[in-house]
Amino acid sequence: MSVFDALKGQKQALPILTMAAKAAANDASESQEMTHAWLFTGFGREKAALLFAASLLCKSEGCADCSDCKTALAGSHGDLELVKTDGLSIKIDDVRELVQRASWSPSTSNYRVVILESAERLTDSAANALLKAIEEPGLRTVWILCAPSAADVIPTIRSRVRTLAFVAPAQLPTTTSDEILRLPFEIKDIAGAFMAAAKIVELAKSGAESVAETLNDEELKKAKEAWGQQGSKLTAGGSKAIKELEKGQKSRQTRMVHDTLDTILLDIAVKYRDQLVGVASDSEKLKIIAKIDAVMDARARLARNAAPLLTMEALMVSLR
């Protein structure tokens, strides 16, 4: 068994991560395969970060069975720093503290792993404070930043990390349906723009819901087993843990909606770009470029946690 079993569908990322884990275990920390600063993007990036962390903290490259693996996957390993953010931004003071803690030597494992979720919420000054740390992280420290897409972190960060994109499992539509892609091009009036926005958000929500429900049920079942539920009674610690779990599931579902919308927006942008090829007049070209800009702007707003429906409505009105 291996922690990487959970990443079977990730055809691009999986071989890179397994080779990195192998190189790290053989202490080839300066090798090509292993690097000390990563950016994970796309679907399930936070889970993937935990799995990779487990493979680095485990004594046998992520057996999924030892206590290093188990505590790493639960986010509670002593040499793992898991940073989640409830706030709208990650500020410079938070990062300074984090950089300091990241430089501590690992206590039981070979590495100290820092997972920074929602790296898209780093303020510019916070991102700058992070630069030096991820450029020269120290031999025993590994940084894994997570963000919806590489475009969501500033270029100076992007150029110092190895980026891995994770794709949605088969149940989520990985390509946007033609029906959805046609919508922005068929808008005739404001009412039509609002309808198109509603339809796209609805699709993203229902897709995320169906996937989330399956995951949620499975996790709840396991958590209840772990806390030894008998009948409808849970121990005191158990109910608190279940509440925490449910809270995490809710925010994951929100993220999934955002991720799906992000994919749709990228596909729409590509469609406009394709249109550019057949256009001769400069003024027509400029119009299309303005539309691509509007789509990218909507992505940026969603990444900053803007309300999906409002964002899509504003976009569809400007694409009209």
Which residues contribute to the site for Zn ion (CB under 5 A)?
Answer: 58, 63, 66, 69
Nearer to Zn ion, 20 or 157 (CB): 20
| Beta carbon of residue 59, minimum distance to Zn ion (angstroms, whole number) | 7
Q: How far is the CB of 58 from Zn ion (least distance, A)?
A: 3
Q: Which of 56/58 has CB closer to Zn ion? A: 58
Q: Where are the beta strands (DSSP E) in the chain?
A: 37-42, 80-83, 112-116, 141-147, 162-166
Looking at the Cβ atoms of 63 and 220, the one nearer to Zn ion is 63
Q: How far is the CB of 169 from Zn ion (least distance, A)?
A: 24
Q: How far is the CB of 170 from Zn ion (least distance, A)?
A: 28
What's the closest the beta carbon of residue 168 comes to Zn ion, in angstroms?
27
Q: What's the closest the beta carbon of residue 143 comes to Zn ion, in angstroms?
A: 21
Nearer to Zn ion, 58 or 142 (CB): 58
Give the Å distances, CA to CA, from 131 to 41, 127, 155, 242: 18, 6, 11, 37
Give whole-number Cα distances, 76 to 10, 57, 252, in Å: 25, 12, 19
Q: Is-contact 281 230, C-beta < 8 A?
A: no
Structure tokens, 182: 């046609």
Long-range contacts of 60-64 (CB under 8 A, 24+ apart): 60/25, 61/2, 61/18, 61/21, 61/22, 61/25, 62/2, 62/3, 62/4, 62/21, 63/1, 63/2, 63/3, 64/1, 64/2, 64/3, 64/5
Q: Supply the angle between the helices 308-319 and 190-226 in degrees, to the nearest 10.
A: 150
Choose between 2 and 260: whose C-beta lies nearer to Zn ion. 2
Q: Choose between 63 and 92: whose C-beta lies nearer to Zn ion.
A: 63
Of all residues in this chain, which one has the CB nearest to Zn ion in the complex?
58
Give the distance from CA 318 to its chain's centroid. Answer: 28
Of 58 and 203, CB closest to Zn ion: 58
CB 38 to Zn ion: min, Å: 20
Q: CA 161 from chain center: how many Å?
A: 15
